Amino acid sequence: MTTTRRDFLTATAATAGAAMTPDLTHAHQHEHEHQVVPSDPALRVKALESLLVEKGLVDRAALDALIDAYEHKIGPRNGARVVARAWADPAYKQRLLSDADAAIAELGYGGMQGEHMVVVENTPKVHNLVVCTLCSCYPWPVLGLPPVWYKSAPYRSRSVIDPRGILGEFGLQIPENVEVRVWDSTAEIRYLVLPERPAGAEHLTEEQLASLVTRDSMIGVGNATFPEKAST
């Protein structure tokens, strides 16, 4: 068991600051040809976790609690409730646009990577789009952890220079007379887009309204729509 763990961590050390590539793994394998060197990051991460736990540096229960929070408790349904409240309650909407932290806290949300929130409103004349070109900043308390495409080079690079092209790839055609505003999250301010309420939703309850709000509409790469319209 110890031998196996050493292998994982040696591979880990060899790749610290470099890539976890098959090439490096193979290079390592030449030094220890009698051993099977794992190339799977799963094994390397597991070995590192064991070392940190043995040194008393981390508590596995705390790790589990963090993961559980973002896998099961915090996600775009939170943001959807904020948006639905804003659609249903004009006074709440005003508070949300003028002091987002306090308004979002009214619904019980807030915290890590959403310490300083700003909400930007889509209107018939303005369409907002949120990106982080330098890393992958994203409003976790209201949207959860970002999808892979948000963290990817294509989105991070082109959102600022060709937002209409990016929106087209998501199926959104923005008319020429609508102003596109891109929000590059270069600091600790986190942005949530307040999408337009779809026509025909006036009679819906807040809960029903929330079901129309997609994650993408709160990033700005989609619109809030009725599901049947979304599929056509």
Partner 1 sequence: MNGVHDMGGMQDMGPIQAEQHEPVFHETWEARVFALRRAMGAWRKWNIDASRYAVELVPPTDYLRMSYYERQFTAFLDMLVQHKFVTHAELESGVPAPGTPIATPALTIEKAHMLVAKGVPTKRDLHIAPRFQVGQRIQTRNINPLGHTRLPRYARAKSGTIESDYGVFVFPDTNAEFLGENPQHLYSVRFSARELWGKQAPAKDSVYLNLWDAYLEPA
Q: What is the 3-state secondary structure (H, E, C) of 125-161?
A: CEEEEEECCCCCCCCHHHHCCCCHHHHCHHHHHHHHH
Applying CB under 8 A, which of residues 94, 123, 157, 205 lies at the interface with partner 1? 157
User: According to the binding rule CB under 8 A, does residue 30 interact with partner 1?
Assistant: no
Restricted to residues 183-202, the positions that interact with partner 1 (CB under 8 A) are 183-189
What does the radius of gyration of the chain's CA atoms come to, in whole angstroms? 22
Helix (H, G, I), strand (E, B) or coil at 113: coil
The CB density around residue 190, as the number of other CB atoms within 10 Å, is 25
Q: Give CA–CA dist 3/51, Å, rounded.
A: 14
Our answer to whether residue 132 is catalytic in this structure is yes
Least distance to partner 1, CB of residue 36, Å: 16
Q: Which of 27, 36, 135, 230 binds partner 1 (CB under 8 A)?
A: 135
Query: Contacting partner 1 (CB under 8 A), which of 160, 172, 211, 226?
Result: 160
User: Between vectors from CA 179 to CA 189 and to CA 81, what angle results, nearest 5°?
Assistant: 50
Draw the binding track, 79-118, toward partner 1 (x: CB under 8 A; -: no contact).
Answer: -------------------------------xxxxxxx-x
Look up 137 and say whether it is catalytic.
Answer: yes
Catalytic residue among 132, 159, 185, 217: 132
Q: Applying CB under 8 A, does 63 fall inside the site for partner 1? A: yes
22 touches partner 1 by CB under 8 A: no
Among 39, 50, 136, 211, the active-site one is: 136
Tell me: does residue 67 bind partner 1 (CB under 8 A).
yes
All residues at 6 or more sequence positions from 196 whose CB lies less than 8 Å from its CB, including other chains: 122, 123, 124, 223, 224
CB of 198 to partner 1, least distance (A): 21
DSSP state of 71: I
- Quick check: 136 binds partner 1 (CB under 8 A)? yes
